[in-house]
Every structure is written in structure tokens, then in C-alpha cells.
């Protein structure tokens, strides 16, 4: 009987109670990291779209500027011709051409002002989305560090790694909280232009 007891396999040591909490906390951190990744990707897309749209708007603005310059040059040349005209008919025709060119110059100036509003708005929107997305990026970084440390703690049975991981996770959750529900309240987004063209472009 004594030999049989000696030969019987010894019972497995009971796992530390804290390792159960490691699994739970790692799951929560993984969910937070997944959410931060989703939201961060969304703001990254918004940044790219706003940047491309702003670039297109500025290119359109430059095109209008070139047309305005051309009409201004045309108006100046016709004014010289007007002064050299010898007949009333020639002067009237020159004046009509000058008025038309000046009218187009005014139109281009007004269009440029509206286009500039759009371009500046999209520039600001890109900067806003990039800044907000950066906070999601920081949240992802700290949450991933926390998950890694928790995994090391579970494998090595070292509670200190788990505690450090929880600290990193708390920082990550803090960045996530700031980036998601608080950022928009603390830093309101840029105001959408109120002119009709901008409203159409945002639909």
C-alpha cells in the first residue's frame, strides 16, 4: 500500500487565482483595441478623402486664377485699343468688350472666394481627422502593449507583468475615451461652409 501511494502521480498544483483575471482583462483589452482600430481606420480614411478633396479644390482655384488673369490682360489690351479708336462705333465695340471682360473678372473673383472657403474647410477637416485619429493610434499602441504583457504574465506566471500591462491598458483606455466621446466636445469640429456649392459637395 505504501509503495502504491508512492507510485501514484501527485496532484497538479492549483493555478493562481490571479491568472483567471488575466484572461478576463486581456479579453476586455482586446475588445477595446479592436474598437480603437476600427475608429482609427475610419478617421484615417476621412483624412485621406479630405486631403484629396482639398487638393482638388486648390487646383480648381488656380484654374480660376489663370482665367481671371487672362481676362484682366484682355481688358487692359482692349482699353489701349479703345483709346486709339477713331470712330464712335469702334469705341463702342471696345467698351462693350471691356465691360464683358470686367464682368467675367468679377465673376471669377466671386467663384474663387467660394472655392477658397471649400478648400480651407477641407484642409481643416483633414487636420482635424488626422489629430483625432492620432489619439486612436496611441490608444491602439498602449492596448497592444498591455495585451502582450498580460500574455507574458500568463506564460511566465509573473504577476508583475500583468500589473504593468494593466497600467498600460489604463493609459490606452484613457486615450480611447478621449478620442471617442470627449474629443469632439473639447475640440469641436470645423464649421461646414454655408454656401450652396459646399453643401452639395458634402452630400
Secondary structure of 34-73 as H, E, C letters: HHHHHHHHHHHHHHHHHHHHHHHHHHHHHHHHHHHHHHHH
**CA-to-CA distance for 51 and 137, rounded, in angstroms?**
19
> Can you give the pLDDT at residue 198?
47
* pLDDT of the residue at 194: 59
pLDDT tens, position by position, 137-194: 999 999 999 999 999 998 998 999 999 999 999 999 999 999 988 888 888 887 776 5
- Do the Cβ atoms of 19 and 157 come closer than 8 Å? yes
* Closest to 202 in 3D by CA, of 58, 57, 41: 57
Residue extents of the structural domains in the chain: 18-201
Q: Is pLDDT at 127 greater than 70 in this prediction? A: yes
Assessment of whether the complete model's pTM goes beyond 0.85:
no
Please name which of 150, 66, 54 lies closest in space to residue 108, comparing C-alpha atoms: 66
For every residue of 109-122, DSSP letters joined together read HHHHHHHHHHHHHH
Q: How many residues does the chain have?
A: 203
Amino acid at each position: 500500500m505504501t509503495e502504491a501511494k508512492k507510485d501514484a502521480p501527485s496532484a497538479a498544483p492549483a493555478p493562481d487565482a490571479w491568472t483567471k483575471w488575466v484572461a478576463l482583462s486581456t479579453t476586455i483589452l482586446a475588445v477595446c483595441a479592436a474598437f480603437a482600430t476600427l475608429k482609427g481606420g475610419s478617421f484615417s480614411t476621412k483624412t485621406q478623402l479630405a486631403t484629396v478633396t482639398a487638393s482638388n479644390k486648390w487646383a480648381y482655384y488656380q484654374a480660376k486664377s489663370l482665367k481671371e488673369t487672362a481676362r484682366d490682360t484682355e481688358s487692359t489690351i482692349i482699353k489701349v485699343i479703345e483709346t486709339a479708336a477713331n470712330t464712335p462705333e469702334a469705341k463702342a465695340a471696345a467698351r462693350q468688350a471691356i465691360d464683358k471682360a470686367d464682368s467675367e473678372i468679377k465673376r471669377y473673383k466671386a467663384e474663387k472666394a467660394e472655392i477658397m472657403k471649400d478648400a480651407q474647410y477641407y484642409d481643416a477637416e483633414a487636420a482635424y481627422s488626422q489629430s483625432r485619429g492620432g489619439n486612436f493610434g496611441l490608444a491602439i499602441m498602449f492596448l497592444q502593449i498591455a495585451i502582450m504583457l498580460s500574455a507574458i504574465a500568463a506564460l511566465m506566471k509573473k504577476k508583475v507583468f500583468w500589473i504593468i500591462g494593466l497600467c498600460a491598458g489604463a493609459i490606452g483606455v484613457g486615450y480611447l475615451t478621449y478620442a471617442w466621446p470627449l474629443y469632439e466636445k473639447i475640440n469641436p469640429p470645423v464649421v461646414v461652409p454655408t454656401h450652396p456649392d459646399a453643401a452639395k459637395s458634402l452630400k
